[in-house]
Amino acid sequence: MGLLASISSPADLRKLSIDQLPQLAAEIREAISQQVAKTGGHLAPNLGVVELTIALHYVFDFAWDRLLFDVGHQCYTHKLLTGRQHLLAGLRTGAGMAGFPEPRESNYDLFSVGHAGTGISTAVGMAKGDTLNAEGFDPATAPNGRRAVAIIGDASIVNGLAMEGLNGAGTLKRQFLVILNDNGMSISKPQGAIARYFDHLRVSQGYGGFKSAAKEVLKGMPGGETLRYAYHKMSEGMKACLNEDAWFEHFGMVTVGPIDGHDFPTLIAQLTEARSFDRPLVLHVKTIKGKGIPFAEKDASTFHSPPAFSIITDPDSAVLPGLESEGCRVELKRDGRSFTSAFGEALVDLMTRDGKVVTATAAMPDGTGVSKALAKFPERSFDTGICESHALDMLAGMAKTGWKPFFAVYATFLQRAFDQCFQEASLQGLPVRLCLDRAGLVGGDGAVHHGFCDIAILRVLPKAAIMAALDEPSLRASLEFMRTYDEGLSSVRYPRDNVSERFASEACPPFVLGKARCLTPTFDLDAPGNNGAGVPDVAIMAFGTCGIDAMAASDLIGAEKRVAVYDARFAKPVDRELIANLLTRGVPIITVEDHSVVAGFGAAVIEAASEMGLDAGLVTRLGLPDEWIYQDSRTKQMALAGTDAAAIAKTIRSVCAKVTPAPKEPAGEHVKVQVRSSNPARA
């Protein structure tokens, strides 16, 4: 039996000798790489912190002490050491462990997290709370009290919230440890002045000198002496090697490092001393993202969070499972063309045709497809690092000077910049354009990454144009609409999914503000010659790719019912004329969206019906329920939410059973209903 299999809790880990820990680290890396190859997941971030995580659990007792992760996508080793090895086979599914810290799984996970910058602030809060509860560590009065440790890395230290957390941490008058996991990366290459500062620090001559000197100091220390003693006993020359003090000490944080994050004796010695330090401390740890797996080390961006992959080797090569050797290649499993790829190419086309278009992303050039624009138009493309608020404000400033900014961002991260959407963009009437990747359900990343509230938060902004893409031609048409929409903020959302080919052979009409597109021509009430024979039994107004699922539901219904399907296109303004034409004929409407039913597209349809004095009771909403949906495949999540084709078909039958069928109007008597609002932008 290997070492990993013998560990059911950190207490078992602490029974091992330090000399055994490298073998344990190798076993953990193999287990993680084998599983991610099968299911996909965060590979490189987890490989980089194996030794650091083992050392932390070796020194601290996090059944009592506090461990807070920033971002959280580096938690796999932590989970394997805290009793969850049996859940690894179900990684990122409902039957296994989440890819992020999850308190539902274990008391060792204190917060469910997946967004950058939060770890230091929540750790400060727990440290303050423990002190108020008389449970906090104090070397003199409470040596058995709770310690607090926050791990921050992957360049999230540059996030504004992390700065606020450091500002708060510096006011603490107790033990508080921030571990800066510095791997020289975020998801891709980090950006900005702070990133350049750490680059300089890593290559400075003081780095090597301090490592050697620090080891000599530690050799001479009795085990009970604290880092505070060591810090004050260091010579002035030694302290000068701690170049980062000039930065972190402005926050009131004593700083040590950088140290080698893959060297167990150094890690354990430093953490043992830090465990008893009586004031806030930053331990700067240098790690290698993707450590131990050659292809992940070589291309940490691609293998940050890859899909399932295969390692193709020479049959005569001796290769450990999950490891690359000479003559090997890694093949990522792809099953179609993604919306992200489609957007990246469409953006480049837009920038080629219009020299005033600029774009930005917040540390996600590959994840959003902006990497293609960065390569071709580096002077008009920007990666701000993990700084969504800054990116939005920067683009608002560019809009003010006459440029046409497009912000590519995951829908789940947009809410981090909502205040900027409101004040710097919308309130100023500036046409900032939001391209929201990973909108709706996201599959294995689970609740922390679902894009479930972007419609709700943007719909309150006056003159906002809120759209969703049905497929690739629809995405391109929406971007073209946004390029020339100057009345205010605009957005288009699209999922973490592949583009559908269902309507590939049909011409995609341009987007017209507040107008839907009929996907079932027989029931197009605006079509010439439709004299009422095309009045459906039920109409589906689907927002975005839900239109594809609605068409699949219509296929399941067949001739059983007359089903009209509309690509709604706009959640603001909704197509009031279409809503009126349907409801005045008694045609029930089913809205479908990959967004919360609370304040989403369906709510906008009901509000519009009510404002026009129509029967809003004929509107049935399908969308994400008012509860959390956890990690699993996107297909299973949609079934759980009731937005897949089978659920839509079931709803069609249920709605039709409750409503008297709409009568066919005599030929020549079809009258198009015109409805105007005193404030058309309200819906």
Q: Quick check: is 636 catalytic?
A: no
Choosing from 146, 291, 416, 433, the catalytic residue is 416
Choosing from 289, 291, 380, 459, the catalytic residue is 289
Give the count of beta carbons closer than 10 Å to the beta carbon of residue 167. Answer: 15
Give the count of beta carbons closer than 10 Å to the beta carbon of residue 55. Answer: 26
Contact present, 362 and 391 (Cβ < 8 Å): yes
Question: What length is written for the chain?
Answer: 683
Residues 6+ apart with CB under 8 A from 435: 343, 347, 368, 406, 407, 408, 409, 479, 491, 492
CA–CA separation, 206 vs 618, rounded Å? 72
CA–CA separation, 515 vs 477, rounded Å? 13
Q: Among 299, 294, 461, which Cα is nearest to 371's?
A: 299
Signed CA dihedral, 16, 18, 24, 25: sign only: positive
Cis peptide before 573, with omega less than 30 degrees from 0? yes
Helix axis angle for 50-59 and 21-39, nearest 10°, is 130
Q: 270: buried, middle or exposed (CB in 10 Å: 19+, 13-18, 0-12)?
A: buried
Residues 6+ apart with CB under 8 A from 401: none
Q: Quick check: is 416 catalytic?
A: yes
What SS3 state is found at 540? strand
Choosing from 388, 424, 472, 593, the catalytic residue is 388
CA–CA separation, 254 vs 135, rounded Å? 23
Q: Quick check: is 289 catalytic?
A: yes
> Element (H or E) spanning 570, and its range?
strand 570-572
Active site residues: 289, 388, 416
